[in-house]
Structure 1
Amino acid sequence: MTSKTAGSTPPDKLKPPPQFVPEVNKVTAGDIAASLKAGVSDFRAHPFMSGFFGLFYAVFGILFVWCLVWLGAIWMIIPAAVGFPLVAPFAAAGLYEMSRRLQKRERFGWSDILTVVADQRKRELGWMAFVTLFIFWVWIYQIRLWLAIILKDASFSDFDGFLNTVFFTPQGWTFLAIGTCVGAFLSAVLFSLTVIAMPMLMDRETNFVSAMLTSLRVVSESPVVMLAWAAIISAAMLVSLVPAFLGLIFTLPVLGHTTWHLYQRAVPPVQGGSVQPSP
């Protein structure tokens, strides 16, 4: 006798929920320009609230460098400052939420935005923070490795001595060349994984792996335009570090808002979910 249960289909409630794989659009230079314009508009709409997130990031950077000086880790100041922008996408979570609400023409206050940011610890954005910080750790570790291999006999008793060794000796030039190449590779990897994933996780109920894969697909669909956008972000962030990190008060909010609008153009909204890209 054949069992009634053999080969039967399990109840629907036991089936894993289907994973939605979003389509992606090809990103153009016009999309970058339009997103940047929308990002500036969002910053102007709430300059103090947007600037708060930039100020928080800048103060954290200042304290981070001060701790390195206090600990005597002079060699880490430059690589830490250069690698510091790698964690900027995670710091922009509040800016994404502001742009989302501005697009939907919702009224909001400080508590609304800060509550949403605090709630992200319960969602997949925490895993993205882990990925970001892991790549930042790899960046710092590989700098320490190349310092030991190339500049093993150099003394870094003070910051001036470190700068003189790095910028005015053949060994220092070799160290800079290798560090720049490795840093460019790590930055490209992290940018490709996070540029769309971060705002996507704020906007949709999805897992961080799917968000990273979607981000990679957007970059692979429009590699030249997206890497050009990465270069713009890197240049703007590095210039912002020069005035004691204070330039981040303005550049981080604008770039964060812009990234939200770029995500909206790159990934079509879910029916009944995200709003359409702003014109």
Structure 2
Amino acid sequence: MMAEQGGETGPVPVFSGAVPYIRPVPVDRPWHWLQLGMADMLSAWRVSLAYGALIAGFSLALALLVVGSGHIMLLLPLTSGFTLVAPLIAVGLYATSRDLGQGRTPDLRRALHAWRENPLQVGFLGVLLLMLHLFWVRVATLMYALFFADMAPTLDGFTATILHSGASLPFLIAGTIIGAGFAGVAFAVSVVSIPMLMDRQTNAFTAMATSIMAVRVNAPAMALWAFIIVFLTGLGIATMFVGLIITLPLIGHASWHAYKELVVEG
């Protein structure tokens, strides 16, 4: 039986014609997706944790490279913008959850090569997300230059200035508002589009339109889901990326189940 959402019952079409439909869900449904994601992570713990460790290790190496190169001001936008590209990074986790659902034994090699199943469309959407991330980094860099033009280019100086200078509060407020805007766009176009591209031989534009409609039809539930994703990702990053070993697979597996419940065949 279909759940009610905003007075609507039953699937909601994205476009008129033979394209996917969106299923309305209750506002608390993301907690169920997390439960399913946890079950997948435990069932495929070797693949999931290895995948998470690879991403966490790469992220830490990139952060150390940024710090070591003296470009400290890029550290904050790069880490805060992680959520913009996380749906692309989690492609292998979607494939692992799909394998579990089909009764196949999860395999790390297959997870790492999952993007090859629909390479052009996944690649196209990936480029869009990467461009959005780079644009956010550029905007954040300009904001930094505007608020902290005379900041010492050291890690200690960066931390002290960001947290204790007179411009800290306006900078953090402006950065949070603008960053949330970027994150909202990325979330809307990718929350179900990349899993959909892994599951069906469709195109990126249809997948993005489906994703945007899923957010529109289930705005309260998707707002909660976005908050959970940001919280778990932030928790993973705050632990020097070590927490991503667990939180990234959990989000990735849960996102697959979110897609499978929200998007139904037209």
- Letter matched to residue 26 of structure 1: P
CA 1:86–1:214: 2 relative to 1, 3 Å: same
* 1:44 matched to 2:42: yes
- Letter matched to residue 55 of structure 1: A
* 2:164 match: 168
Given that 2:83 and 2:183 are in contact with CA atoms closer than 8 Å, whether structure 1 keeps it comes out as no
Question: What's the % identity of the aligned pairs?
Answer: 31
1:54 partner SS = helix
* 1:207 matched to 2:186: no
Given that 1:53 and 1:91 are in contact with CA atoms closer than 8 Å, whether structure 2 keeps it comes out as no
* 1:235 match: 231
CA separation in 1, counterparts of 2:146 and 2:114? 45
* 1:159 match: 155
Given that 2:81 and 2:133 are in contact with CA atoms closer than 8 Å, whether structure 1 keeps it comes out as yes
- Letter matched to residue 223 of structure 1: A
Shift of 1:30: 4.4
CA separation in 1, counterparts of 2:32 and 2:231? 19
CA separation in 1, counterparts of 2:81 and 2:23? 30
CA separation in 1, counterparts of 2:128 and 2:155? 30
Which runs of 5 or more residues in structure 1 are unaligned? 1-17, 271-279
CA 1:149–1:110: 2 relative to 1, 3 Å: closer
Map 1:106-125 onto structure 2 (within 5 A).
Answer: 106-117=104-115, 119-120=116-117, 122-125=119-122
CA separation in 2, counterparts of 1:191 and 1:98? 21
After superposition, what is the alpha-carbon deviation per residue over 1:66-116, rounded to whole angstroms, capped at 9, x for unaligned? 111121001111221111232111111111011111112123433433343
* 1:10 match: none
Instruction: Normalising by structure 2, report the TM-score.
Output: 0.89
1:48 partner SS = helix
* 2:10 match: none
Compare 100-109 and 232-241 and name the one that shifted more: 100-109
CA separation in 1, counterparts of 2:184 and 2:48? 26
Matched residue pairs, number? 251
Q: Which protein is bigger by CA-based radius of gyration? A: 1
1:60 partner SS = helix
CA separation in 1, counterparts of 2:43 and 2:205? 33
* 2:190 match: 194
Given that 1:101 and 1:107 are in contact with CA atoms closer than 8 Å, whether structure 2 keeps it comes out as yes
CA 1:19–1:56: 2 relative to 1, 3 Å: farther
Which runs of 5 or more residues in structure 2 are unaligned? 1-15
* 1:142 match: 139
CA separation in 1, counterparts of 2:187 and 2:231? 14
CA separation in 1, counterparts of 2:196 and 2:212? 13
* 1:99 match: 97
What is the aligned-residue RMSD (CA, Å)?
1.7
Given that 2:91 and 2:111 are in contact with CA atoms closer than 8 Å, whether structure 1 keeps it comes out as no
Given that 2:27 and 2:220 are in contact with CA atoms closer than 8 Å, whether structure 1 keeps it comes out as no
* 1:56 matched to 2:54: yes
Map 1:13-52 onto structure 2 (within 5 A).
Answer: 20-52=18-50
2:241 partner SS = coil
Runs of 4+ that moved beyond 6 A: none
Shift of 1:262: 0.6
CA separation in 1, counterparts of 2:220 and 2:122? 27
Shift of 1:121: 6.8
* 1:249 match: 245
